[in-house]
Structure 1
Amino acid sequence: MANRHRGEIEAVLDGRPHTLVLTLGGLAELEAAFGAEDLAALAARFSEGRFAARDLVRVIGAGLRGAGTAVSDAEVAAMRAEGGAAGFAAIVAALLSATFGGGDG
C-alpha cells in the first residue's frame, strides 16, 4: 500500500496496481531529461501543467523505478492505464503532488 507521507502513490498500469515514488535519484534523472538546473526549475516546469507523452513516460518510469520496479521507459510507453492518455496524466499529477507537497491528491 502506498504511503503519501513518503511521497508514494498507487496506480493501476496494465491492470495491476503499482507503487510509484520519485526518489532523489529519480528527480536527478528527470532534471537531466528535462534540462532543469535544479529542483526548483524542475518543479516550475511541472507547474506549467503541459506535458508531452514522452514526459509522462519519463515521470512514470522514474516513479516506478523509485519504488523498485525494474522497468525501462520503452516498457512504460507500452503500458496501458484506465482512461488512456488522461489516465497517464492523472497518475503523473498525483505523483508530482505527492512529491512536491501539493496536498492529498
Structure 2
Amino acid sequence: MNPQRGETAIEIDGETRKLCLTLGALAEIERGLGCMSLKDLTIRLKSVSAHDLIILLAALLRGGGEADLAGRVRELAIEPQTALKAILSCFGKATE
C-alpha cells in the first residue's frame, strides 16, 4: 500500500487488495450514484444503501488497480461493515 497516494487495504477472499480514490474513481462514483457535482455527492453519501456500497467499492477497486476484482464485486462475500470501513478510510486518506 502507498499511503502517500491515498491507498487503503481491504481483505477480500483472504487476499489484501487496494482501494484508491482517484479522479477517475470519483467521476465513476458520481455517475453511478446519479450526482451532478461534488456537492451533490457529499449530500448523497450521507445515507448509503447496499447497492451504493457496491458502486463505491467497485470504483475504488478500479482506482487501486484492481479492475479484475471490481467487475465481480456483486459475487464476493464481503461484509457490509468491512466494505464501509475501507471506503471511509479511503475517502479519509484522500482528504488528508
TM above 0.5, yes or no, is yes
TM bucket, shorter chain? 0.7 to 0.9
Cα RMSD of the aligned pairs, angstroms, is: 1.8
TM value normalised by structure 2: 0.84
Alpha-carbon offset, residue 64 of structure 1: 0.8
TM value normalised by structure 1: 0.78
5+ residue gaps in structure 2? none
5+ residue gaps in structure 1? none
Could you tell me which of 58, 61, 64 is aligned with 1:64? 61
Query: How many Å separate the matches in 2 of 1:2 and 1:56?
Result: 23
Query: How many Å separate the matches in 2 of 1:76 and 1:16?
Result: 14
Letter of the 1:75 counterpart: R
Identical amino acids, percent of aligned pairs: 30
Partner of residue 37, structure 2: 38
The answer on whether the counterparts of 1:2 and 1:10 sit within 8 Å (CA) in structure 2 is no
